[in-house]
């Protein structure tokens, strides 16, 4: 019979840097936090966050067969200094689409589990579906949720993608680890738009990542001033984190930065990008969902 140690070892053998097992029940006040966050309007235009709130905090509402949840972390960090004059793109978008990469790795984990136990069934989520990945990652002991709302993975930092595998088999749960943010407020103080309105509370309406990726329509005068030369996404609150300074290390998966050189362009070079070339450049990339028109909007806002 497979043990929890077996499950974690199988996950690490697939290239994940951390893995843990959580109960399907969230023992924290995640439901209260989420409802208050939405009530405050911090979800901005992301209306999907207002749906299935009960399922997000209790997966058994929709998946009553779940006995345990495997949560994994995949490191995407690359220690690369951006060239002077190039427009900035978040590290997570330097390569191929992380949704597919993490999902494929989790499929391999599930297949190996099925080889050992044909009765095992699972459901995979990678930043999709009504699952609070961060809360389950914390409960599974992968790390703690920092004041910038990202999960800080022990020995690796927060430049990691999370993946979730719901399982119909019971495994021993891991215990949460201590929150080690302490008195540090670097992420809060260095955010140019003041998006971190309180420790652990992000107002998406002011977040550069939200503005450049999720927001529809044109930018307001304030929003234009907040962009800080970011064409897509933002890494500031992670770049200033002392734990990332200490723990962040280069990923072993080159797919996470396989188009970096093609993305290091000056504003003039980006202006010359056609819609056809956009489709080619961002094929199998998370950036593709942005679509050409919004990338162009971001570009014009920066060079105005």
Return the bridge partners of 72, or none: 19, 163
Residue 149, Cβ density class (10 Å: 0-12 exposed, 13-18 middle, ≥19 buried): middle
d(CA 216, CA 248): 33
CA angle 28, 191, 210 (to 5 degrees): 70
Q: Which residue has the tokens 């699972």?
A: 122
235 belongs to the catalytic site: no
Residues 125/133, Cβ–Cβ less than 8 Å: yes
Taking the CA atoms of residue 143, residue 28, residue 55 and residue 24 in that order, the dihedral angle to the nearest 10 degrees is 60
Coil, helix or strand for 24?
A: coil
H-only helix segments in 58-207: 98-116, 133-139, 186-190
Given the residues 31, 108, 127, 258, the one annotated as active site: 127
148's CB contacts (< 8 A; 6+ apart) are 158, 187, 188, 196, 202, 237, 238, 241
Token readout for 31 is 């439901």
d(CA 251, CA 279): 26
Q: Checking phi first, is residue 76 left (phi over 0); if not, alpha (psi -120 to 50) or beta?
A: alpha
Active site residues: 127
């Amino acid at each position: 019979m497979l043990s929890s140690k077996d499950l974690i070892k199988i996950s690490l053998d697939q290239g994940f840097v951390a893995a843990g097992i959580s109960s399907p029940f969230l023992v924290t006040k995640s439901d209260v936090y989420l409802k208050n966050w939405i009530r405050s309007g911090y979800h901005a235009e992301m209306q999907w966050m207002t749906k299935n709130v009960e399922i997000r905090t209790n997966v058994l509402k929709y998946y009553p067969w779940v006995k345990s949840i495997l949560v994994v972390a995949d490191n995407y960090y690359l220690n690369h200094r951006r060239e002077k004059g190039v427009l900035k793109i978040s590290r997570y978008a330097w390569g191929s689409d992380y949704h597919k990469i993490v999902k494929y790795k989790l499929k391999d984990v599930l297949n190996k589990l099925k080889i050992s136990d044909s009765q095992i069934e699972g459901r995979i989520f990678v930043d999709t579906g009504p699952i609070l990945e961060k809360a389950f990652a914390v409960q599974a002991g992968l790390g703690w949720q920092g004041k910038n709302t990202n999960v800080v993975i022990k020995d690796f930092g927060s430049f990691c993608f999370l993946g979730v595998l719901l399982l119909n088999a019971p495994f021993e749960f891991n215990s949460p680890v201590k929150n080690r943010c302490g008195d540090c407020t670097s992420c809060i103080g260095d955010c140019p738009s003041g998006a971190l309105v309180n420790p652990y509370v992000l107002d998406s309406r002011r977040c550069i990542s939200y503005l450049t990726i999720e927001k529809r329509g044109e930018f307001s005068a304030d929003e234009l001033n907040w962009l800080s030369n970011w064409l897509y996404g933002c890494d500031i609150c992670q770049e200033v984190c002392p734990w990332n300074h200490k723990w962040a290390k280069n990923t072993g998966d080159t797919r996470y930065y396989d188009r970096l050189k093609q993305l290091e362009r000056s504003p003039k070079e980006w202006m010359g990008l056609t819609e056809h070339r956009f489709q080619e450049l961002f094929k199998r990339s998370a950036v593709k969902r942005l679509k050409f028109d919004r990338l162009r909007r971001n570009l014009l806002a920066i060079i105005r």
